[in-house]
Amino acid sequence: MLNFHKNHRLLVGTAGGIFLFLSLLIAVNPAYTVQENNAPLPGSLPTNAEITAGMHVFIEEGCVACHTQQVRNIDMDKMWGGRPGIPADYAWRHRIDNLRATPSTLGTERTGPDLTEIGERQPSEAWHYLHLFNPRTVVKESIMPAHPWLFRSVATVGQYDNELTLSDEYRAGDRGHIVPTEKARQLVAYLVSLKQVDLPGGTTAPAFIEYKKAPPTVAATLSGPGSATALPDGAALYSTHCQACHQASGEGLKGAFPPLKGSAAVNDPNPELLVQIILQGYNAREEYAVMLAFGAKLSDNEIAAIATHERSSWGNKATPVTADFVKKIRETINRSAGNITATATRKRHENLLPFNSRLASDHGLAGLPDLRQTPAQRLCGNHPRHRSRRRFRLLDALRLHCGGRADASAFRPVYDPARNPRHVPTKTTTLHRLAP
């Protein structure tokens, strides 16, 4: 008989044994099983030291207290991800060190939005920097606290600094150049990396529990390019994909994101430029941040719905855009992505503009045409930020100059930051012929 009331060693030993058994049963064994039978999904991008450091900054700043990173299998979570979350989505996270456990970023409260796919919904680093410095600069109604300590004021902007364009309202009297610190860059790198990975082909994604009716559709019945088709709710799509930058009022943000209200591109009778900008992105204006492409993210119907909403809101009164018209523009872009022959280059000669004289003269090509492949690129001009875009147009002209015998493999891009010290090297390139 066990005399626990008389033998204290037996009592402590039995209690310790039970504790150890239960720890192994309900803690250690499940954790080991999950670790051995879980791995990132195929197609997951490998993380790097900057992203990992950014996750630590995310936890250090207390972001997990207000933001979740889990898409539940209920209908209301559809807006946060394309499918419910699975264990493999979090397999890349590991222990910080021997004394600190794996960081928990799932969160338990959504004071702010879920961040599972924030890198997909908002891939613009410029937006994230503004939002971190003061969320009210991009979302007037935001209750998120500002993080000015993640930024510093400098007298001279360095070559790789991402200067923030802020109005006096948010500068608090500081007349210097506001640039992010290393912690801010790491945090933004982590946020931009947050994207759901598609499941392997043939794998059925977990289903959402449906309890809401399908969103209403809007019929594009007015006369416009293409044939009339039923479109999704453009206002809802705009709110999800565009409003964070261009604002609910369509007025954008000065020095950061251009206005859509009264925009010539939006109100143009021919919506080709607007559709092309949505499909391919836009980076032709020095005073605004880069707009990334949505062609791979949105369907023809969704792009048509957004374009139609923009062309009929905030006082804009342009004709609607149909999915058929977007499909034609997308097909044209896909065709033009291939190699352009010398014959095709000659046929388009009447639409070409001169090369930047310095770039052309470097290669003895003064007077050769500048191949402008899209209407959006016709706005580029000869600004230094856009020379990298003209690299392949330069090669087309070289083929024409050499009777179609020049090949892209005969040239290599050489980055020259000295010509444009305010921007990263990928913004400026020159071409140099390789030694034979």
| Residue 318 located in a structural domain | yes
Q: Give the model confidence (pLDDT) of 305-342 as tens digits.
A: 998 988 888 888 888 888 888 888 888 888 876 544 43
Residue after which a domain boundary falls, among 336, 366, 400: 336
The residue type of 428 is: T
Domain final residue, candidates 177, 193, 209: 193
pTM above 0.95, yes or no: no
What phi-psi label fits residue 292: left (phi over 0), alpha (psi between -120 and 50 degrees) or beta? beta
Residue 35 pLDDT > 50, yes or no? yes
> How far is residue 291's CA from residue 259's CA, in Å, rounded to a whole number?
13
CATH number at residue 92: 1.10.760.10
Q: Are residues 26 and 55 in the same domain?
A: no
Q: Tell me what pLDDT residue 399 has.
A: 44
Domain co-membership, 56 together with 151: yes
Q: Which two tokens stand for residue 243?
A: 């409003």
**Amino acid at position 365, single letter:** L
Residue 60 and residue 176 in one domain: yes
Q: Three-state SS for 111?
A: coil
Do 359 and 374 lie in one domain? The reply is yes
Q: Could you please report the per-residue DSSP string of 368-390?
A: PEE---STGGGG-TT-GGGTTTH
CA 353 to chain centre: 31
pLDDT at residue number 102: 81
Domain boundary among the residues 316, 336, 356 is at 336
- Whether 107 and 233 map to the same domain: the answer is no
CA neighbours closer than 13 Å in the CB half-sphere of residue 28 = 7
Count of domains forming the chain: 4
Same domain (yes/no): 319, 269: yes
SS3 79: helix
Same structural domain, 67 and 102: yes
HSE of 236, CA atoms in CB hemisphere, 13 A? 10
DSSP symbol at 352: -
Q: Is the same domain home to 112 and 173?
A: yes
Average pLDDT, the chain: 75
Amino acid 342: pLDDT? 39
**Inside any domain, residue 211:** no
424: in domain: yes
pLDDT digits (tens, 9 = 90+) for 354-405: 434 433 444 444 443 443 344 444 444 444 444 444 444 444 444 444 444 4
C-beta of residue 163 within 8 angstroms of C-beta of residue 17: no
Residues 71 and 129 in one domain: yes
> How many Å apart are CA 260 and CA 428, to the nearest integer?
28
- Local structure of residue 209 (DSSP, 8 states): B
Residue 345 has pLDDT above 90, yes or no: no
Q: Is residue 201 part of a domain?
A: no
- Domain of 154? 49-193
- Is residue 376 a contact partner of residue 282, using CB atoms and an 8 Å limit? yes
314: left (phi over 0), alpha (psi -120 to 50) or beta: left
Q: Cα torsion at 60, 66, 72, 76 (round to 10°)?
A: -150
Q: Which two tokens stand for residue 260?
A: 């859509």
Q: Looking at the structure, do residues 134 and 119 belong to the same domain, yes or no? A: yes
Q: Are residues 85 and 189 in the same domain?
A: yes
Residues 356 and 325 grouped into a single domain: no
- % pLDDT > 70, the chain: 72
Evaluate whether residue 241 is within a structural domain.
yes
Instruction: For the chain, give the percent of residues with pLDDT over 90.
Output: 22
For residues 25 and 14, give the distance between their C-alpha atoms in angstroms, rounded to a whole number.
16
Residue 1 inside a domain? The answer is no
Domain membership flag for residue 43? no
Name, in order, each residue with C-beta under 8 angstroms of 202's C-beta and a sequence gap of 6 or more: none
pLDDT digits (tens, 9 = 90+) for 242-298: 877 888 888 887 767 888 888 888 888 888 888 888 888 887 666 677 787 888 888
Q: At what angle do helices 234-241 and 300-311 cross, to 10 degrees?
A: 100
